[in-house]
Amino acid sequence: MNESPWWSRAVFYQIYIRSFADGNGDGVGDFAGMRARLDHLSWLGVDAIWINPFYPSPGADHGYDVADYRGVDPMFGSLNDCDQFLADAHSRGIKVILDLVPNHTSSEHPWFRNALSDRDHPDRDKYIFRDPRPDGSPPNNWESSFGGPAWTLHKPSGQYYLNMFASEQPDLNWRNPEVHDDFEKTLRFWLDRGADGFRIDVAHALYKDDVLRDNPPDDSPVYHGYMYDQPEVHDLYRNWRKIADSYPGDRVLVGEVYLFDPEKSAAYVAPNELNLAFNFLLVWVTWDAAAFKDAIARPLEALDKVGASGAWILSNHDVERHVTRFGGGEAGLRRGRAAALLLLSLPGTVFIYQGEELGLDQADVPDDQRQDPVFKRTGGILKGRDGCRVPIPWDEHPHGYGFSISEPWLPAPDGWGSKAVSVQMQDPGSILNLYRTALAARRASDALTHGEFKWIDVPSGCLGFKRQTDGDKLISITNLTSELQRIPAVGDLLLASDTDVAVHDGKLELPTDSSAWIRA
C-alpha cells in the first residue's frame, strides 16, 4: 500500500474559469458551466481541479485583483453555486483547490478605499505607502511585473503606494498583524466549505525588504532581490500549513513560487511549509533534450534534499501555450503529444492547463480586443496573456464553439472547430484521447504514481528515465531529435504518443518528436 497523500501523485486540471464553460450565456465562463462539464473531467480522468480566482473583483487583472476574499463574483455565480460545485466534484471523487491571492488586493477592496480616504486611517498600514524621493520620483527603483514602475502616486496625499503588478493591485503589508488575521479567516472560510486546498498566488513575494532597498542592476545574480523571497515569508507558511493540517483529508498548499533557482523554491516546500511549488523551469524550455533534462534534474535534486516532491507544468494561464512554444501547427502538436507522455511520467504531481489536452495553439487575439493589463501597461510592446486564455472549444458550432451561446469575452479563432472536445472524443487518435489513455495508464501503474525515478542512458537528443516499485517497472523515452532512433528496449509498448512508434526485435523504434512508455 502506498500511504502518500492524494496530492503527491495527483493530476490536476487547471480551470481558467472565465474561459472554461459559460452556463448563463453572458459570454464569460462560470460555476454553472463548470458544473455542467464535470462529467467530461471525470471522463478525462483527472484527480483534482485548480480554479483560478472567482471572487468579487473589478477585473483589472481578471480576478487577481480581489475586492472580497470570501465571496463569489456575481459574474461567476453565487456562494451557493460554489458549494454545489464542490459537492458535485467531490461526489465524482474529484478534489478542488482554490486560488488564494495574498500579495495584493484590488484597489476597490474596502481596506484600500479606507487607506486612500485618510492618511491616518489604520487600514493605510495594511499597504505600503511611502513618500517620494526628494526629486519627486518613486521611493525606489522597483519595477512592476506588468511593466513600468512598481509605484503609483496617490496625488491627494502626495505619497506613492507599491504595486508589483497593476496599479489596481496595491501590495499588502505583511508586516501588519491584521493582514495575517484576516487571511487566516479566509483560509478557514474556504476550508470549512470543503476546499481541498489552495494554490497561492506569487507565494514568494508577500514580504518585501524591510527598508525597501533599491534592487541591484538587472544583470546581477540577485534577481529582483529585494522585492521577493524574504526569509519572513517562511513563518507565514508554517502557520498556514498548521491551519490546513488541522482539517481532515490532507488539504494541500501549492505555491506559485516564481524563482528560477531550484534550491530557493525548494525552501518553500521544506517540512511543515507548503506542500508543493510549481516547477517553472519547464514553462520556458525549448524543444531540446538537454534543456528538458536540466529543467527536471535540478529541481528533483533540490526537492530531494528537503524531502518534497515535484509539481510539473508545461503551460498555465500566464505563458504561451506549449504547442506553440514547441513550434506550433502540426509539428508543435506532435511535440505536444510527446511532451504529454513525458510530463505524465514524471514523479510527483502534474498540472494540466485547460486546452492543452486539446492540443490548442496560442490564439491570435487582435490588438483591439486584447484585455490583459500587460498589453496595456507596456503600450502593446508585450502582447500579454490573452492568447492562452481564449475560451476552449466544446463543439463545432461556428459561433463560439459551444463555449457560450453569446459572443465569448475573447474572440474564438478560425478553425478551432476541428479541435473541439466533441470532435476529438470521436477520434481514437486525437490528443484528447491520448491524454485520457495516459491518465488511466498512469493511475493504474504503481511505478508511475509513486515509483522511484532514475535517468537511463539513451541516445543524445533523447530523454529517458525509469520509474520503479517492487512490483512494477516502467520506462519513459522521448525522442527530441529530427531522426528516427532505434533504442534497445526490453518490454512491451504500453503507450506511444503516435502510431508510428513500435517495438521490434528488442528495439524501440522511436521516430522524431515522439514518446513511448515501455513496461519492463
| Cβ 147 to ligand GLC shortest distance, Å | 12
Residue 268, Ramachandran bin (φ over 0: left; ψ between -120 and 50: alpha; else beta): alpha
Tell me which residue has cell 456562494. 79
Nearer of residues 373 and 400 to ligand GLC, judged by Cβ: 373
Read off the C-alpha cell for 360.
490548442
The mark string for 87-116 relative to ligand GLC (x by CB under 6 A, - otherwise) is --------------x---------------
Question: Rounded distance, CA 174 to CA 341, Å?
Answer: 41
Nearer of residues 197 and 464 to ligand GLC, judged by Cβ: 197
Of the chain, the end-to-end C-alpha distance in Å amounts to 21
Read off the C-alpha cell for 41.
473531467
| Cβ 103 to ligand GLC shortest distance, Å | 7
Nearer of residues 347 and 387 to ligand GLC, judged by Cβ: 387
229 is a site residue for ligand GLC (CB under 6 A): no
Nearer of residues 168 and 513 to ligand GLC, judged by Cβ: 168
429, HSE (Cβ side, Cα atoms, 13 Å):
5
Compute φ and ψ for 101, nearest 5 degrees. -120, 80
Nearer of residues 255 and 336 to ligand GLC, judged by Cβ: 255
12 is a site residue for ligand GLC (CB under 6 A): no
Nearer of residues 35 and 377 to ligand GLC, judged by Cβ: 377
277 is a site residue for ligand GLC (CB under 6 A): no
Read off the C-alpha cell for 139.
521611493
202 is a site residue for ligand GLC (CB under 6 A): yes
Q: Tell me if residue 3 is catalytic.
A: no
Fill in the DSSP letter of residue 108: T
Read off the C-alpha cell for 17.
474559469
**507-510 and 485-488 strand pairing:** antiparallel
- Binding-site size, ligand GLC (CB under 6 A): 9
Burial class (CB in 10 A: 0-12, 13-18, 19+), 188: middle
User: Out of 318, 320, 446, 498, which residue is the one contacting ligand GLC (CB under 6 A)?
Assistant: 318
294 is a site residue for ligand GLC (CB under 6 A): no
61 is a site residue for ligand GLC (CB under 6 A): yes
Nearer of residues 201 and 513 to ligand GLC, judged by Cβ: 201
User: Out of 165, 207, 228, 280, which residue is the one contacting ligand GLC (CB under 6 A)?
Assistant: 165
Residue type, 152: T
| Cβ 382 to ligand GLC shortest distance, Å | 13
489, HSE (Cβ side, Cα atoms, 13 Å):
30
Annotated catalytic residue within 47, 61, 171, 256:
256
User: Out of 50, 64, 237, 280, which residue is the one contacting ligand GLC (CB under 6 A)?
Assistant: 64
Query: Hey, CA dihedral for 415, 417, 420, 424, is it positive or negative?
Result: negative
User: Out of 30, 47, 201, 509, which residue is the one contacting ligand GLC (CB under 6 A)?
Assistant: 201
Question: Rounded distance, CA 370 to CA 401, Å?
Answer: 20
**159-162 and 129-130 strand pairing:** antiparallel
Nearer of residues 201 and 229 to ligand GLC, judged by Cβ: 201
73 is a site residue for ligand GLC (CB under 6 A): no
Fill in the DSSP letter of residue 356: G
Burial class (CB in 10 A: 0-12, 13-18, 19+), 24: middle
237 is a site residue for ligand GLC (CB under 6 A): no
Annotated catalytic residue within 30, 201, 356, 509:
201
| Cβ 376 to ligand GLC shortest distance, Å | 13
Query: Hey, CA dihedral for 385, 388, 393, 394, is it positive or negative?
Result: negative
Q: Tell me if residue 201 is catalytic.
A: yes
* Residue ranges binding ligand GLC (CB under 6 A): 61, 64, 101, 165, 201-202, 256, 317-318
Which residues are tagged catalytic?
201, 256
